[in-house]
Amino acid sequence: MELYFHWFDLLGIAVFAISGTLAAWRKQMDGFGVLVLATVTAIGGGTIRDLILDVPVIWLSNNDYFYAIFAATALTILLVRKRLTIPNNALQIADAIGLAFFVVMGTQKALDHGTSGFVAIMMGTMSGVCGGMIRDVLCREIPLVFRGELYAVTCIFGGLVYIGLLELGVGKMPSMLCGMTALLLLRLAAIRWHLTIPVFGRHGKIDP
């Protein structure tokens, strides 16, 4: 089980790194920019979570994460240079798998350090979305995750399912698997049927 977890973790890291690489490519950054974007997208969320929980930042003592990031980045550059297309659907599905893993593991980590369930769900969601937010800020974009896609909400949903089952007395491992599955299914449904959440638009006016 533990071993599977490690591979899911690296899969999530790699997919996030690809999304950072592609963002850097769109902004015509240099090789260093590509590496930084790939890296912060992949490990930014977990880093902020660990800093706030005041636990050792995970990649300080494990180079595996960087191997996954560099491999994913190199592969992406190669594909893009060769004018090959990366199937967007495959990317989104891999991203959903990585996200499911990151969010539930992040929630678990917060619970392990004694936070309330509410804060734990928030930390899990941060693990999943903050990397992409930093990526977008460095690219001078308003974070994609604020733009109406059903993405962050799936994180909150997965965390709720996980914590709900724990509260009901279900064991840790089955609760985690259910939380991940629930998140994954909702995210896949959102990708398949283009589900959105309402954008908080200009429906009112405000005293200037």
Give CA–CA dist 197/151, Å, rounded.
9
Question: Between 10 and 29, how does the x/- string for binding to its own copies read (CB under 8 A)?
Answer: ------------x-xx-xxx
Q: Which residues contact 143 (CB under 8 A, 6 or more apart)?
A: 132, 133, 136, 137
Measured distance CA(99)–CA(187) in Å, rounded: 9
**60 lies in the binding site for its own copies (CB under 8 A):** yes
**Footprint of its own copies on residues 160-189 (CB under 8 A)?**
none
**In whole angstroms, how close is the CB of 171 to its own copies at the nearest point?**
26
C-alpha–C-alpha distance, residues 173 and 54, integer Å: 25
Nearer to its own copies, 4 or 140 (CB): 140
CA distance 128 to 119: 14
| Closest CB 176 distance from its own copies, rounded Å | 22
Q: Is 1 in the site for its own copies (CB under 8 A)?
A: no
Do the Cβ atoms of 127 and 49 come closer than 8 Å? yes
Q: Does 203 sit near its own copies (CB under 8 A)?
A: yes
User: Is 4 or 63 the residue whose CB approaches its own copies more closely?
Assistant: 63
116 forms part of the interface with its own copies (CB under 8 A): yes
Structure tokens at 4: 């599977």
Contact pick of 3, 84, 168, 173 for its own copies (by CB under 8 A) = 84
